[in-house]
Amino acid sequence: MLSVETVDLSYGASRCLRGVSLAVKPGEVAAVLGRNGVGKSSLLRAIMGLERIQGGSITWEGRNLAGLSPADRARAGIGYVPQGREIFPFLTVQENLETALAAAPRGSKVDPEVFDLFPILRQFLRRRGGDLSGGQQQQLAIARAMTARPRMLILDEPTEGIQPNVIKDIGKVIRHLARDRNFAVVLVEQYFEFARDLADHITVMVRGEVALAGPTPALDEAAVRRLLTV
Ligand SMILES: Nc1ncnc2c1ncn2[C@@H]1O[C@H](COP(=O)(O)OP(=O)(O)O)[C@@H](O)[C@H]1O
Ligand SMILES: [Mg+2]
C-alpha cells in the first residue's frame, strides 16, 4: 500500500503542497484531479523521489521512502509515467524499453506481456520513439514503466493530447493492471470522465491542498466539476 501523509513541499519560498494525504491499496485506482498548477505533478514527483518533501511522510509497502533515490524507489516497485511521456526520441522502441531494465531484477528482459497490452509496440520495435504518434508514445511510456516489473504505477495525465481510441485502450490497460494484476495505481488527470470511470477513489486538489476526497460513488460530481473549472 502507498500512504502519503500530510506532505508539505516548497520550491524555495513558494509553497506547492500543504498537508496532502492520499492512500492507495493494491488492486485500487486512486485518481488525483485538479486544474493546471495545483501541484499534481509535484505530488507524483515527490512520491518518486524527484522532489524532496519538507514535511509529512510517504510510505510504500510499509517502508518509509525518505532518503531513497528515484532509482531505489523504482527498484522497490514504483513505476512512473511522467507528464509529457519523456520517451527518448532518438532511441528505438526496443531501446526505450531497455532503459527501464536497470530498475528490474538482474538478468531481466523486456516482458513480452507489454506487447500483449500494447500490440502496436511489437510492430514498431525498430522505429524511433520520436517517429511515433502521441498516443503510441504514451503506450511506450507505460510499457517502459512496466519493464521495470513494478507493483504500483503512478501516471501523470496519460490522456493529455491523445486521440479518443487510444485513450480507451489506455483505460483498459489501467483497469486490467489494477483488477487482474493487483497493481496499486495513482492516476493524475484533468479529464474527469476518464478518471471517474477508472478510479475507486478521487482526490481533488486546489492550490496545493486537498479540497475534496472520497470513494468515487459517494462523490458529489457537481462539486468536483466546480473545483475543476473555477
Ligand atoms: N521546479 C519547480 N520550481 C519552482 N516552481 C515549480 C517547479 N515545479 C513546479 N512549480 C510550481 O509549482 C506549482 C505546481 O506545479 P505542478 O506540480 O506542475 O502542478 P500541476 O501538475 O497540477 O499542473 C506551480 O505553481 C508551478 O509553477
Ligand atoms: Mg502536471
Domain locations along the chain: 2-229
**Closest C-alpha to 219, from 198, 196, 188:** 196
Ligand 2 centroid to residue 123 C-alpha, Å: 31
Q: Any idea which of 1-15, 57-71, 99-113, 191-205 has the lowest mean pLDDT?
A: 99-113
Q: What is the number of the ligand closest to the CA of 37?
A: 1
Q: Give the whole-number percent of the chain exceeding pLDDT 70.
A: 100
- Look up the pTM and report it: 0.96
Q: pLDDT tens, 82-132?
A: 999 999 999 999 999 999 998 888 888 888 889 999 999 999 999 999 999
Q: pLDDT tens, 191-228?
A: 999 999 999 999 999 999 999 999 999 999 999 999 99
How many other C-beta atoms can be found within 10 angstroms of the C-beta atom of residue 185? 24
Q: How many residues does the chain have?
A: 230
Residue 36 alpha carbon, nearest atom of ligand 1: 23
Residue 206 β-bridge partners: 209
Give the helix ranges, DSSP H, for 180-209: 192-198
The CATH code for residues 2-229 is 3.40.50.300
Side chain identity, residue 10: S
Residue 205 alpha carbon, nearest atom of ligand 1: 22
pLDDT of residue 106: 83
What residue ranges line ligand 1, CB within 6 angstroms? 11, 14, 16, 34, 36-42
